[in-house]
């Protein structure tokens, strides 16, 4: 993959962001199954540069990463940045929930088509 995209793992993890040579590279948001998110920069498939770890209750910390390792962090985050991070993660979660609802509707329609109700014309 090259450019921007979304990748979903079967266990519920999700990445939405930039890719180069099939690796996360540039800016992206990664969401773990437990609801935690990483909002920030990637290089060669791992966190690298500035990023934020965001908990499901939207508590967050700003960190600097080097080749996938967190090298320092702070709880002091400018309000405008915190607001932007929360907004973008909420948008991603809303999209994810809509995708689940759409998939459930589609599965329901397929189920109805596969098992049509057969009626007897004589009844």
Per-residue pLDDT of the chain (123 residues; tens, 9 = 90+): 788 999 999 999 999 999 999 999 999 999 999 999 999 999 999 999 999 999 999 999 999 999 999 999 887 788 788 899 998 999 988 988 898 898 888 888 777 656 556 555 555
The model's pTM is: 0.75
User: Taking the CB of residue 82, how many other CB atoms lie within 10 A of it?
Assistant: 15
Q: Is residue 83 part of a domain?
A: yes
Q: Is residue 123 part of a domain?
A: no
> Could you give the number of structural domains in the chain?
1
Euclidean distance between CA atoms 53 and 82, whole angstroms: 11
Q: Is residue 55 part of a domain?
A: yes
Q: Domain containing 7 — which CATH number?
A: 2.20.110
Q: Is residue 74 part of a domain?
A: yes
- Local structure of residue 69 (DSSP, 8 states): E
State the residue for tokens 């459930």: 104
Q: Is residue 120 part of a domain?
A: no
Which residues 6+ apart lie within 8 Å of 77 measured at CB?
52, 60, 61, 62
């Amino acid at each position: 993959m090259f450019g921007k995209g979304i990748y979903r793992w079967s266990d519920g993890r999700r990445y939405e962001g930039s890719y180069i040579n099939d690796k996360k590279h540039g800016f992206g948001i990664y969401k773990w199954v437990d609801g935690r998110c990483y909002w920030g920069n990637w290089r060669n498939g791992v966190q690298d540069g500035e990023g934020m770890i965001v908990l499901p209750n939207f508590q967050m910390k700003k960190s600097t990463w080097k080749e996938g390792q967190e090298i320092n962090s702070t709880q002091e985050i400018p309000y405008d940045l915190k607001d932007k991070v929360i907004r973008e993660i909420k948008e991603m979660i809303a999209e994810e929930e809509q995708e689940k609802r759409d998939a459930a509707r589609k599965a329901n329609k397929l189920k109805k088509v596969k098992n049509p109700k057969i009626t007897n014309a004589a009844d």
